[in-house]
A and B are shown apart, each in its own frame.
Chain A
Amino acid sequence: MSAAASVSSGAQPVSKVTDSSILDKQHDLPAFRAAIRKWLEKNCPSAEEVEDMEAAAGIDYPKFEKYQRAWVAKLSTVGLSIPHWPVEYGGAGLSLKHLIIIADEMAKAGAPQLHMYVISFNHIPATLLAWGTEEQKHKYLPGVGDGTPWCQGFSEPGAGSDLASLRCKAERVGNEYIVNGQKIWSSQSKHAEYCILLTRTDPNVRKHAGITYLIMNMKAPGVEVRPIKQSTGRAEFSELFLTNVRIPVEDRVGEENKGWAATLTTLASERGILAFEDAERFRYKMEKFYQQALAEDAPWLKDAQRRREFMRMVSRIQAVRGLIRELLEHNQTDPDAPTIAPSVIKVAETSLEQGFYEWQTRIKGRKALYAEPEAERGEVPGDPMGSYVDSFGRTIAGGTNEIQLNIISERGLGMPRG
């Protein structure tokens, strides 16, 4: 959960909001939910449009970006683009309870997911509110709220799970850092205007102690973005090649060589509400698939083994959703108490999704293996193979499931490091 998400204040509708019909109801949760639902009925893009957008992801950058920007612009008219941010920085200052309702309604309506803004809306406020200077907050946060896409420059070819071993070099020269190095797995960086960048400023100390956290303008000379084609054929992430990129000292987050603490804040902001929305969307996806199978009297429903496998997955998605609800409750009542729940959830949810798509691919048989146009969407019920191949992104990204198992066993279960 991001630090920003727990910040709740007096909550005046923000200035860019032209329609306060939703924010006006924030003190009455059922009415708030009803207002969102009503607004979505009129404003949510159609299922065809959402599919068209998803089909463009990592393939047709301008088209994808247009959809994403349009949806953010629409959301911002009712205060739902950055509802959890403090009012001071352009948000609506809503509580986690509100966010849960928003995510639930968005999932239910099948609203477009803001892939391009994951870093902007979650990681940036969490990090800058905790570690940024007043100047940085006022310089960057309003823009982020307006729909400025950001990306993350953390992993390197030689620093994956062992992130702190990163080597991208930043040298202080006067009032600037000169950055040279390479970053990898930077999602949505093809669209990004800014990047949160981890650099090595002192190679002679313990690896966690020589890291400096910088904000990089993606248009700065020396920044080259080379998309990486994934196993799905899409290129949603890129490598960043940085050659003598100049970053002013005022764009440093936290102190020099002390960037690791802010890094942990950034990484911690990935859990909670995002996992909630993912799991709720997955639930609807499974349910829709089931409803369709029932309507078509699909053969697998009469195949005892396949049907039982499906029922077991139904039980698992319910349990995962229960785990996430418990984590959100924990985040509201005791946010500072350590918990391994995010790791448990990540392993359970991503393995379940992978298992589900693998199962769908299996029941579809040879037909699942055609990669013809309608299959390019990577979404059920059209293309389980695409979703299956793509699911490895989820079991690997955001801290591989193996790293999560380390966290569970070491931090949660007190097993010693090897």
Chain B
Amino acid sequence: MDDLTMGPNAGPNADELAALAESMADVLAAESDRRKVHGFIDGKNQLEAQLWERAKELGWFAVGLPESAGGMGLGVRGLAVLHRELGRQAAPGAFISTLSAAQALAEFSDAAKVVSRLAEGQVAVCVPATPTEPGKGLTLSGGKVSGSASELLGTPSAGLALVAVQDGSNTAWALIEVDGKSAKLSERKLWDLTRHFCTLECTGVTPALLVKGADAAKLGRTLATHMGLAVCFDSIGAADSILNQTMDYMKGRTQFDKIIASFQALKHRVARLKVELELARHASSQALQAVETGTPDCQAIVALSKVTVSEAFAAIAGDCVQLHGGVGHTWEFDCHIFLKRSRLNEALVGQNDKELDWMAERMAEATRAGRSVLELPL
């Protein structure tokens, strides 16, 4: 059963979500299968660009946006399904940055124009890997942005960058049109070959949109929340996928005249990974529900869930290498692709220790205010 599209929390769009989930899973399984992903990381195909075009055709960029902004109105739950399926196939592309930026910008009415471009997938967006950090490197002066910012998640071919900039002693957010002249992106190579980190260099760029003051802090936090959810669901899909692959391998591999999946020492390890995955699945869906219902502590709950889920993914991906034995350590098998994806997921949004500290502050604050952060619906 698909806990995102069925069951008590699926909501009024359950049928639409279920159909969407099925189509996303089918399309991605066919068009981002393991052979193609391997071809892509070896530079033998254009999978990233092809998937982006396919997602555009199928309207996936509109899934999470409200209907008033040209979206499908399926909200964060629709996006969760998409990220989970992208993670499952270790799909390449700037999906987390672009889709999260669109959600965050959709809350600003003067961003309507750009949001409608994003809803159609016309352009990809780079965003800071940690959007809650104050702007540094880029400065705002006389309405123009100059300087450089590194560790942007996205793609070097992105047409937009949504970045935190230093505005005197404050942080503002600027949406920069990347024109390749006064605003340039360059790539930093990552171990995870399915995603990109970029550096943005600006020389006197007038931002397409500037968000200041309390709104700026809100934008950073909203962006972090959407990225956090995206990382959770990407991790769930990916962890489920590599764990299933590993079990299949173990059921086919014979040593000492026995299927290695029958060895209790290995079976118990896999069962524990399954327990971790189940806990992570619930941490993700609680984060999703908290955002959907807008509970006062939802952003902190997302941050905490992201820690749990990304750590579970990293633990699962690591042990899946080991459970494969020698072949798990080869380029040809998929283990390393998921392992590298997991370590990047862990490092996205906040560093996990910082996220835990932030959740601790929020929990103390809520507790002092006589509120529990542990309420769950029955």
Contacts and interface: CB of A to CB of B under 8 A. Distances in A.
A38 interface: no
B271 interface: yes
Interface residues of A, number: 45
A405 interface: yes
A415 B270 CA distance: 10
Nearest to A408: B271
Contacts of A287: 372, 374
A169 B378 CA distance: 46
Interface stretch (A75-83, A193-201, A314-322): A314-322
B2 to A, nearest CB: 12
Interface in A351-402: 402
Given A312-B308, A319-B282, A408-B275, A418 B262 contact: yes
Contacts of B373: 314
Contacts of A318: 282-283, 286, 374, 376
A17 interface: no
Contact of B279 (A307, A320, A329, A402): A320
A28 to B, nearest CB: 15
Q: What's the interface size class on B, roughly?
A: 35 or more
Dominant secondary structure of chain B at its interface with chain A: helix
Given A316-B308, A320-B279, A415 B372 contact: no
A307 B356 contact: yes
B65 to A, nearest CB: 28
Nearest to B277: A344
A297 B238 CA distance: 40
Identify the interface centre among A310, A317, A322, A348: most chain B CB within 10 Å of its CB.
A322
B268 interface: yes
Nearest to A334: B1
Contacts of A323: 278-279, 282
Nearest to A351: B275
Contacts of B267: 405-406, 409-410, 415, 418
A408 B274 contact: yes
B357 A405 contact: no
Contacts of B29: none
A322 B251 contact: no
Most buried by A among B270, B279, B368, B376: B279
Nearest to B272: A405
A408 B304 CA distance: 27
B304 A315 contact: yes
Contacts of B280: 319
B291 interface: no
A290 B272 CA distance: 28
B247 interface: yes
12 contacts: A304-B353, A311-B363, A315-B305, A315-B308, A317-B374, A321-B376, A322-B282, A326-B7, A329-B8, A348-B279, A406-B267, A412-B274
